[in-house]
Structure 1
Amino acid sequence: MLYAVDMSSALPPFPKPEEPFATPSLLEVGMAPGEPGLRADAARNRARLLEAAARLIAEHGVAGVTMEAVAAAADVGKGTVFRRFGDRTGLLMALLDHSARRLQADFLGGPPPLGPGAPPLERLRAFGVAVLYRTAEQLDLQLAAQPDPTRRFIHPAAGALRAHLTMLLRQTVPDGDCDLLAHTLLASLDPALIHHLTRQCEMPMERLEAAWLDLVARVTRTDPPG
């Protein structure tokens, strides 16, 4: 799987971005308010809790992840889990944040075409495909961790995706309203929509990937890849 949650894997180093148009820097997602950094022991405890949550998801699905179950699996008090993550949504968001940072590291400094070094149009195509498959792989977690509507579009992880997509659009269609185009394109990668298309309509992922490439071609007034 491309972006499966794996808390045991170390995050890759984050190279300095090599792009113009105000490339977004790596966002520090996943920390609780007032926690700009963690002591080494606190960071280890946090990773242990996330490891326990990831195991519960693998064994029982997202429904099996409760604050009580994570505390028991990590052999800590329930209050420790609440202090670290606030509530169940905060815990699930922390699991997603690890994967979000891996994806962001890939498009900021990974190999092309997702990372720097490829033409903007190729990067735009690769970006949507990467987000599509990452979302599909973590669909239950993505849906369970969805912030409420007032916070959905201002979460740092969502902002990082939108900023990067806007930058690629400005390089590809400089005469377009790239801010709104980024919102429109990201709407086609929404977890609830992917759930509907893949599980309720039983569409194969190959069709969704082709649809993204077609949408990019129409927005950028270019030919789809051959």
Structure 2
Amino acid sequence: MPDTGSRGSAGAARVPREVVDAALRVARRLGKDVADVPTREIALEAGISRSTLLRRLGGPREALDEAVRAAGVDPGGQPPVRDRAITACAHLIGEHGLAGLTLEAVAARADCSVHSVYAAFGGRNDLLEAVFERYSPILDVEQILDGPPRGLPETVRLIYRRLAQALDREPRVLPAMLAEAFARPAAPASQALVRHFVPRVLAVLGRWLADEVAAGRIRPMPVTLLLQQLVGPMLMHFLTRPALGGVRQVDLPDPEEACEEFAAAFVRAVALPAPGGDRD
């Protein structure tokens, strides 16, 4: 059902339906967004002059865009709805957390209809998964592990740098998602994220750790414990940095130094000596 809230108000109401239909037809025929179709083409399709069209719109064409949006179609002229919704959702999560997030709020922030958000994602959980894909370090880590072989210390350092960037950048999506999962693990949003997140992590980091064990480069431990040892200290440090930054007695290292120290600690804890005693 189209979202015809405030966005489809007075401006949309004065646009005749036949003008909206004409705009949609010519946009489909030309393969363009409605916002990119010249008004003369819309007037021609509607069988009226351009000046008559502008009079019926009441002036600028924003009223037509409102009417098209109220009909459940994104008029375009902006980045695609999917991209705008992901960005809007990320900022809302960073500002207010996950618990109160609604598709109505996402649509308002993205300047589109709720209907358009549903059409792009199918529902709230699918939108959250898309936000996680964009704002978590999972894709960066995949590229690191699919790239040229590196020694264990260098690989861990690179992973930590990507994780630190994801935890520290604005909007603070990853910290907010983790906070929701820790605070309300049984909530539907938390369960949906866990079902999406854990298999991805196991497929990427879990496989890499299992391969390192099989190659005799790190101690044979359950993959779950290795994962927790890999990411646990880093998560604790970067999730608490914002709160600790204002405490005079706490001397925080810069992020790069923290990554180096945690990487060295992980390698010392799990690495097996390579032939000749060189762990690199």
Q: Which residue of 2 aligns with 1:182?
A: 227
1:145 equivalenced with 2:177 (yes/no): yes
Q: 1:165 to 1:149 in 2, by over 3 A?
A: farther
1:74 equivalenced with 2:107 (yes/no): no
Quote the offset at 1:105 in angstroms.
Answer: 4.0
Alpha-carbon distance in 2 for matches of 1:210, 1:121: 9
Question: Per chain length, whose mean CA-contact separation is higher, i.e. which structure has more relative contact order (CA < 8 Å, sep 6+)?
Answer: 1
SS of the counterpart of 1:214? helix
Partner amino acid for 1:159?
Answer: L
Partner amino acid for 1:199?
Answer: P
What value does the CA root-mean-square deviation take over the aligned residues?
3.8
Q: Which residue of 2 aligns with 1:7?
A: none
Q: Which residue of 2 aligns with 1:127?
A: 159
Q: 1:207 to 1:120 in 2, by over 3 A?
A: closer
Quote the offset at 1:97 in angstroms.
Answer: 0.7
Q: 1:174 to 1:96 in 2, by over 3 A?
A: same
Alpha-carbon distance in 2 for matches of 1:101, 1:210: 20
Q: Give the alignment's TM-score, normalised by structure 2.
A: 0.48
1:94 equivalenced with 2:130 (yes/no): yes
Contact 1:92 1:141 in 2 (8 A): no
SS of the counterpart of 1:130? helix
Computing the radius of gyration over CA atoms, which structure comes out larger, 1 or 2?
2
Number of residue-to-residue matches in the alignment: 172
SS of the counterpart of 1:71? helix
Q: Give the alignment's TM-score, normalised by structure 1.
A: 0.57
Q: 1:157 to 1:138 in 2, by over 3 A?
A: farther
Partner amino acid for 1:102?
Answer: L
Quote the offset at 1:177 in angstroms.
Answer: 0.9
Which protein has the bigger helix share? 2
Quote the offset at 1:103 in angstroms.
Answer: 1.0
Fraction of identical pairs, as percent:
20
**Which of the numbers 216, 232, 242 marks the counterpart of 1:199?**
242
SS of the counterpart of 1:91? helix
Quote the offset at 1:142 in angstroms.
Answer: 1.0
Partner amino acid for 1:98?
Answer: R
Partner amino acid for 1:182?
Answer: L
Contact 2:81 2:116 in 1 (8 A): no
Contact 2:160 2:234 in 1 (8 A): yes
